[in-house]
Amino acid sequence: MTVQVVIGSGDQELVTALSAQFAELTGIEVIGVETTSAEVLGVVNAEQDFDVVLVDDEIGPLSAHELVREIGMRRPHGAAVLLSAKVDEDLLTRALEAGAKGVLARQPSLEELRARVVAAAEWSRGMRRRLGTAMADDFPDGRRGRMVAVCGAKGGTGATTVAVQLALAVAAHKSVCLVDMDLQTGDIPSYLDLVHRRSIADLVGVATEITGTVLGDALFIHESGPHVLLAPAEGERAEDVTALAARQILGALRARYEVVIVDCGAFMTEGSMTAVEYADRVIMTVTPDLPALRAAKRMAQLWARLKARKEEEIYVLLTRLGRRSEIQPDFAARILNLPLTKTTIPSSFRALEKAINNGTLARVEDDGYRRAIAALGIEVGVLPVDTGGEVRAGRRAKVDT
Ligand SMILES: Nc1ncnc2c1ncn2[C@@H]1O[C@H](COP(=O)(O)OP(=O)(O)O)[C@@H](O)[C@H]1O
Ligand SMILES: [Mg+2]
């Protein structure tokens, strides 16, 4: 099959030189030349078929890295390769962090160009295949814990805080595993003040035969109850967690825990997409501001396009809500046209800051906040309905000590 390439560059000379090289390569075809980041995203949004986008480091108005990130967000199987005048370790690291599938010198040799583009295309097709199979199959039968995926409409909307708090609240009642599926930027260790070398990446190689012992080695057991499966310490290992591996790992966890809570972050990977697809409930955290609401809409549309989750099966959770926030739930619901949870999470900056800095997130000293988390747990079906009373009891016990 022919590899289809889009070139994203405003540099006419570069485009001419590359096109001449591609003309010499069989099996690779340039199907479009876009001169700005906006035009590249136009192609990405148009659902036009392509395998690889070559992104010129000097493209604008979005920076090349931002563009690579956007391509990954909108088209999880779109492979972007960055073209740069200077290819060094720093550039490579930053490119991989943005989600690029490779970097190339601006004047590559014919062989380099071929090898890089073919490798990126193979990744893209593999990803598409896996996304395809992930949708067709189902978890193996048997006992199944309830799985809740928490995603951020964008970074900083409180997804991790909600996932961690929910896991801590549930741990008082049920066995719970908290999974950091924010594979590139997962930061659960800093929220729970824990250090652990093992991560989900260690389960990938054995995903088909996960035993209790294997899990025990990989998981961190938090003193407050939840077991925690961390994201890999090295962001580039995020790719190891394919849709298939994620499905197997989450399936194994659901067979062993009553509740599995997955922090998916705001940047979709095969792993987080799989969690979104298979979760019993998907919560998308949104702060009361227009950029976050727009990001939420975009994310919901992306999931719908990829057939991971229908819009009506997503629950938007307003977080960091203040009484004086201009955007209140009714307004958010109208703009988003997506279901909202009945619960909202109040803004509780001081209490959270204190708890995080003291490494005691299990004890947030803000009743309103704790009640909201309990209400959310009840609403998404992971906490028993009478939990409200225990939140108050928990506080009394603390005051006594
Ligand atoms: N309800 C809240 N009120 C005030 N600050 C919050 C609230 N929830 C989260 N935060 C703060 O916002 C920042 C981002 O939260 P985090 O959970 O890491 O977001 P995300 O995982 O979506 O990137 C953190 O500093 C956190 O303490
Ligand atoms: Mg987070």
Handedness of CA 377, 383, 386, 387 (dihedral sign): negative
What is the rounded CA–CA span in Å between residue 296 and residue 332? 10
User: For the chain, first and last CA: distance in Å?
Assistant: 69
Q: Are residues 282 and 257 in the same domain?
A: yes
Q: Which of 89, 117, 135 is the last residue of a domain?
A: 135
What is the rounded CA–CA span in Å between residue 359 and residue 329? 32
| Residue among 166, 352, 356, 357 to mutate when testing ligand 1 (max atoms within 8 A of CB) | 352
Q: Are residues 75 and 145 in the same domain?
A: no
pLDDT of residue 69: 85
Q: Are residues 117 and 151 in the same domain?
A: no
Q: Are residues 154 and 128 in the same domain?
A: no
Instruction: Kindly report the CATH number assigned to the domain that includes residue 53.
Output: 3.40.50.2300
152 lines ligand 1 (CB under 6 A): yes
Q: CA-based angle 53:59:61, to the nearest 5? A: 120
Q: Are residues 26 and 131 in the same domain?
A: yes
- The conformation of residue 311, written as its DSSP 8-state character, comes to G
Between the alpha carbon of residue 131 and those of residues 118, 135, 162, 293, the distances in Å are 20, 6, 27, 27
Could you identify the atom of ligand 1 that is nearest to the CA of residue 356? 27
176 lines ligand 1 (CB under 6 A): no
pLDDT of residue 280: 94
Q: Which residues of 173-207 are buried (b: 16+ CB within 10 A; e: fewer)?
A: beebbbbbbbbbebebbebbeeebebbbbbbbebb
Low-confidence stretches of the chain (pLDDT beneath 70):
47, 129-143, 387-401
Structural domain span for residue 60: 3-135
Identify the nearest ligand to the CA of 158 by its number. Answer: 1
Distance of CA 137 to the CA centre of its chain: 21
pLDDT of residue 170: 94
How far does the centroid of ligand 1 lie from the alpha carbon of residue 157, in Å?
6
Q: Are residues 120 and 252 in the same domain?
A: no
Handedness of CA 159, 160, 161, 164 (dihedral sign): positive
116 lines ligand 1 (CB under 6 A): no
Q: Are residues 100 and 172 in the same domain?
A: no
Nearest CA-CA partner of 343 in 297, 299, 387, 305: 387
Instruction: Kindly report the CATH number assigned to the domain that includes residue 285.
Output: 3.40.50.300
Residue 29 forms beta bridges with which residues?
Answer: 4
Number of domains comprising the chain = 2
Helix (H, G, I), strand (E, B) or coil at 213: helix
What is the rounded CA–CA span in Å between residue 270 and residue 276? 10
Q: Are residues 252 and 283 in the same domain?
A: yes
pLDDT of residue 138: 35
Q: Which of 105, 135, 165 is the last residue of a domain?
A: 135
The closest residue, in CA terms, to atom 4 on ligand 1 is: 349
341 lines ligand 1 (CB under 6 A): no
Q: Which of 80, 110, 135 is the last residue of a domain?
A: 135
357 lines ligand 1 (CB under 6 A): no
Q: Are residues 123 and 188 in the same domain?
A: no
Q: Are residues 117 and 191 in the same domain?
A: no
Between the alpha carbon of residue 23 and those of residues 6, 102, 220, the distances in Å are 14, 21, 53
Structure tokens at 115: 């090898």
Residues 177-209 pLDDT 10s:
999 999 999 999 988 888 888 999 999 988 888
161 lines ligand 1 (CB under 6 A): yes
Could you identify the atom of ligand 1 that is nearest to the CA of residue 187? 18
Q: Are residues 84 and 168 in the same domain?
A: no
Q: Are residues 100 and 150 in the same domain?
A: no
pLDDT of residue 361: 76
325 lines ligand 1 (CB under 6 A): no
Inter-residue contact 296 to 303 (CB < 8 Å): no
